Amino acid sequence: MSHFKAPPKKSLGQHFLTDHGYIDKIVMAVNPKPGDRLVEIGPGQGAITFPLLRKHGELTAIEFDRDLITPLMEASEGVGRLTIIHKDVLSVDFGKLAGEDKLRLVGNLPYNLSSPILFHAIEHAGAIRDMVFMLQKEVVDRMAAGPGSKVYGRLSVMLQAYCQVDALFVVPPGAFRPPPKVDSAVARLVPRDPASIGIHDPRRFGDVVRAAFGQRRKTLRNALSEVCSSEQIEAAGVRPDARAEQVAVVDFIRLANVVVGS
């Protein structure tokens, strides 16, 4: 048995992937190799879980919905070794879970939780080798956007500072049950080597980026008035009269480092 029928819960933002063509594309994007530590966030009815389990032999899944756990375990018998962690993913310490290894995360992230899960993952980026996530297409567009784009924002800067972000392919509503009202897309995030990131103080970097995009229409001079001075912005080689969406990720990193160092 590969997966089972359980009614999707609206309260958890559940949309179950049912199209085998797209399931295969996701499994190919993950392309597990012997020895990989695969961790799936939100296995749902197991649409991606069981193809990965058949291909790889073992998988750890993090599932918040108690009603899905027993059916998943029963369906996994004879397919491979499935370990289920019954927790909210935001409370899972990926560093502890990884131990000496690095995790490969995969998942169809719930629409209402995708940004918090992404921020949680980058906090543990040192424990993660890569991530292949399906999200709303508009979220993937924001994740991968460059400066000057209308959708370039806090999410773009925070993720791209810590990871290489690539949008892979679009998944239409008809691939799901129930069909969502929007397109989805699959993205790959590969955490950068910590030595190459160059952020001196992650918390301060996050504060600068949050403040810069908190009032998008304002110039950096005004948006960052409580975080740093015009002189500090200039010292980082950034124009105080620029707006946040015009500032590249490397410039935000430099600006935050100037603030930390002064």
What's residue 195's pLDDT? Answer: 86
Claim to verify: residue 61 and residue 107 sit in the same structural domain:
yes
What's residue 215's pLDDT? Answer: 87
What stretches of 31-164 show up as alpha helix (H) in DSSP? 49-56, 66-76, 94-98, 114-123, 137-144, 154-162
Claim to verify: residue 210 and residue 144 sit in the same structural domain:
no
Claim to verify: residue 27 and residue 58 sit in the same structural domain:
yes
Claim to verify: residue 80 and residue 209 sit in the same structural domain:
no
User: Would residue 20 count as lying in a domain?
Assistant: yes
CATH of the domain at 216: 1.10.8.100
Claim to verify: residue 70 and residue 159 sit in the same structural domain:
yes
- The Cα–Cα gap between 3 and 87 comes to 21
User: Would residue 79 count as lying in a domain?
Assistant: yes
Claim to verify: residue 40 and residue 148 sit in the same structural domain:
yes
Q: For residue range 88-138, what is the model confidence (pLDDT) as tens digits? A: 999 999 999 999 999 999 999 988 899 999 999 999 999 999 999 999 999
Q: Phi-psi category of 170—alpha, beta or left, where left has phi over 0 and alpha has psi -120 to 50?
A: beta
User: Would residue 227 count as lying in a domain?
Assistant: yes
Q: Which of 180, 197, 214 is the last residue of a domain?
A: 197
Binding-site annotation: residue ranges for S-adenosyl-L-methionine: 15, 17, 42, 63, 88, 108
User: Would residue 128 count as lying in a domain?
Assistant: yes
Claim to verify: residue 193 and residue 212 sit in the same structural domain:
no
Length of the chain: 262
Q: Phi-psi category of 168—alpha, beta or left, where left has phi over 0 and alpha has psi -120 to 50?
A: alpha
Residues of the chain predicted below pLDDT 50? 1, 11-12
What's residue 7's pLDDT? Answer: 55
Strand, helix or coil for residue 22: helix
User: Would residue 134 count as lying in a domain?
Assistant: yes
What's residue 4's pLDDT? Answer: 56
Residue 7: is the preceding peptide bond cis (ω within 30°)?
no
Q: Which of 162, 197, 232 is the last residue of a domain?
A: 197
What's residue 2's pLDDT? Answer: 52
Claim to verify: residue 188 and residue 213 sit in the same structural domain:
no
Claim to verify: residue 17 and residue 122 sit in the same structural domain:
yes
- The Cα–Cα gap between 13 and 16 comes to 10
Q: At which residue do the structure tokens 């160092």 appear?
A: 261
CATH of the domain at 38: 3.40.50.150
Name the pTM for this structure. 0.93
Helix crossing, 114-123 with 154-162: angle to 10°? 30
Q: Which of 152, 171, 197 is the last residue of a domain?
A: 197
- The Cα–Cα gap between 58 and 66 comes to 21
Strand, helix or coil for residue 16: strand
Expressed as residue numbers, the domain containing 228 is 202-261
How many distinct structural domains can be found in the chain? 2
User: Would residue 214 count as lying in a domain?
Assistant: yes
What's residue 120's pLDDT? Answer: 97
Binding-site annotation: residue ranges: 15, 17, 42, 63, 88, 108
Claim to verify: residue 81 and residue 149 sit in the same structural domain:
yes
Q: Phi-psi category of 42—alpha, beta or left, where left has phi over 0 and alpha has psi -120 to 50?
A: left
Q: For residue range 152-162, what is the model confidence (pLDDT) as tens digits? A: 999 999 999 99
Strands 184-191 and 163-171: antiparallel
User: Would residue 5 count as lying in a domain?
Assistant: no
